Structure formats: C-alpha cells, structure tokens
Amino acid sequence: MTVEVGAAAPDFSLKDQNNEVVTLSQFKGKRNVVLIFYPLTFTGVCQGELCSVRDDLGSFQNDDVQVLAVSVDSAFAHKVWATEQGYEFPLLADFWPHGEVAKSYGIFDEAKGIAVRGTFVIDKEGVVRWKVVNAIPDARDQAEYLKALAAL
C-alpha cells in the first residue's frame, strides 16, 4: 500500500551520485521536497522524465523546494548518468538493502526488483501533500508537480 496524502513521509538516508548521504528529514522545517522514484538509470522514459525536470529545474528546485530522485541503482551508476545528462539534483541509491525506501513508500515491484514511477510532494513538516503513482512504462506529467507545489 502506498503512503497516503496526509501521512508522514517515511524518513530515509541514502547516498547520492557524489557518495554523500542525503536524509529526507534534513529538509524538515526548511524546504518542501519533490521525491521522484524511477525504475532504472539509463532507460528512455526515466531519462525523459528527469531531463524534463533538469530543463526546468528552477521551477522545481529553489530556496523553497528540493528535488530528490531515487532508484535501486548504485551511487556509481548515478554518478555516470548525472554527469552524462547534467543532472544537478541528487540521484539517490536505494541499492542496499535493495529497494527498502521504495518498499517503505509502497511502490516497490517485488517481481521486477525495481520501483514503479511514484512521485510524492512532501511539505516542510514532512507530510505527504500530493502523490502520483504510475506503472513502469507510463511517464508522469511534471506540470502536475508544479501545481502541487503551488498549492503549498
């Protein structure tokens, strides 16, 4: 079952593409968070979605909002992909224990061993204020993230 709107967002600590630990609760009281789970690095739909965020990053990430993208890939794979694609937001490795953060949000596909496409907008108090969960092949509409952020 996915984390519901109005519920506290499960906290986590994961390594980013620079091997630095990022903890969700470090943004509490400071910034809203757009938490984007994607299935795998180096794949077409995932790349398209994250490039859309990259290309309009100022709308998604600023003094009030932090973007965090999560997949089961390693921090090392994220480093190569972030460098290739110019991603300037954290790509977090839910690598080990495998998919534990995706599981805590209720969006891990056990049969495939990857997260489905889930996005959670989390307010400064750590509460989920909006979410969308799509099947693995179905891209999300980033304009919906912006609407959710504007409503905060």
Give the residue numbers marked as catalytic.
Answer: 46
Region of residue 106 (left: phi > 0; alpha: psi -120 to 50; beta: else): left
Give the integer Cα–Cα distance in Å for 68 and 31. Answer: 12
Whether 120 and 130 have beta carbons less than 8 Å apart is answered as yes
Query: Is residue 91 within 8 Å of 104, Cβ to Cβ?
Result: no
Looking at 21-103, which runs of residues are DSSP E strands?
21-23, 32-37, 65-71, 91-93
Q: Which two tokens stand for residue 24?
A: 């969700």
Question: What single DSSP character describes residue 62?
Answer: S
